[in-house]
Amino acid sequence: MRLKTTLAAGLMAGLLALGGAALAQKPQFINVLTGGQSGVYYPLGVSLAQIFAKAIPDARATAQVTKASAENLNLLQAGRGELAFSLGDAVADAWAGDADAGFKEPLKNLRGFSATYNNYIQIVASEDSGIKTLADLKGKRVSVGAAKSGTELNARAIFKAAGLTYKDLAKVEYLPFGESVELIKNRQLDATLQSAGLGVASIRDLASSVKIRVVAVPKEVVAKIGSPAYVATEIPADTYTGQTEAVPTVAIPNFLITQSKVPDELVYQMAKAMYGNLDTLYAAHNAAKAIKLQNALTGMPIPLHPGAERYFREAGVLK
């Protein structure tokens, strides 16, 4: 009888151990929401997915092409992603529920993960268009990014500060970066406004094909925007072929955002994996070199996820 009891107990313990092992091996799905393939979010998102898949046990990580900031935040709110890139002003608008920015209600499931790099507003026109200043955009054909994307929200803010509206333009196109560039090459578009890291592939491609002019956003225009998320800066000389002088513009910080339903342990592992493999991320795009651990929480406009908070406390960023 005692032998049977011992065998039964041993069998039960074995089953429990197998069940625990099966539970431990349950896949960890990580969907990284990015942007268009010709922007900066996408290559960085692909790199992050590769880092997570390698560093986190049982992680199944993917990078999804999206319309960027606003769509990413709405997808996170709906639980259709674990991590997303977004511009800081879009994150603040989502948290507040700004309908004009594409958020019908406050997205209170959002949680902060990390600051990343600054986007630079890059208004680029073909030399043949005759566009030299913001005022010269009147009567021209301009692409402002996908509708309600972070780029398009930036375009609205800058045009308003410069005394322009979409009605002043001959034609407004709501297109991703790559498509905008192709239309300029084909003389179907005069200019494109792109909110991205310096050296974005789409503008490099355009500058290698036609003569371009990078249009300045003067400091006085930046001041009229009236938001702390918009900071006056410059696009350094020789960022693009033919751009021989520094050009005044505006920078907006980018963030990685997660959501409250992602387990604390998984977010902790994601933060640890990302900051433990910055060299891999830097190799994906030059803009990533601005990502530094000491700046991870700078300007974060929403509450931090507990998993990220745990990592940053361990790393000494949070006291």
Pairwise CA distance, residues 144 & 293, whole Å? 32
Quote the pLDDT of residue 25: 65
Q: Give me the residues paired with residue 28 across strands.
A: 59
Q: Spell out the residues 6+ positions from residue 16 whose beta carbon is closer than 8 angstroms to its own.
A: none
The architecture of the domain spanning 119-252 is 3-Layer(aba) Sandwich (3.40)
Distances 134 to 126, 129, 267 between C-alpha atoms, Å:
14, 13, 42
> For position 18, what pLDDT does the model report?
41
Homologous superfamily (CATH) of 28-117+254-314 is Periplasmic binding protein-like II (3.40.190.10)
Q: What is the reported pLDDT for 205?
A: 96
Residue linked to tokens 């745990």: 310
User: Which residue has tokens 């997808």?
Assistant: 75
Note the pLDDT of residue 8.
47
- For the chain, which residues score pLDDT lower than 70? 1-25
Q: Which residue has the tokens 């208004």?
A: 123
Asked, colleague to colleague, whether 28-117+254-314 and 119-252 share their fold, the answer is: yes
Rounded Cα distance between 286 and 288, Å, is 5
Closest CA to 273 of 47, 110, 93: 47
What is the tens place of the pLDDT at every residue in 179-224? 999 999 999 999 999 999 899 999 999 999 999 999 999 999 999 9
Do 38 and 201 touch, CB atoms closer than 8 A?
Answer: yes
Residue matched to tokens 């290559």: 43
Structure tokens at 62: 């993917």
CB-based contacts of 196, cutoff 8 Å, min separation 6: 39, 40, 119, 120, 122, 151, 177, 202, 203, 287
* Domain ranges, ordered by start, for the chain: 28-117+254-314, 119-252
Q: Name every residue whose Cβ is closer than 8 Å to that of residue 62 and which is 6 or more positions away in sequence.
A: 30, 31, 32, 49
pLDDT, tens digit, 9 for 90 and up, residues 68-111: 999 999 999 999 999 999 999 999 999 999 998 889 999 999 99
**Burial class for 161, CB neighbours closer than 10 Å (0-12, 13-18, 19+):** buried
In single-letter form, the type of residue at position 241 comes to T
Return d(Cα 192, Cα 174) in angstroms, integer.
Answer: 10
Report, in angstroms and rounded to the nearest whole number, the Rg of the chain calculated over CA atoms: 23
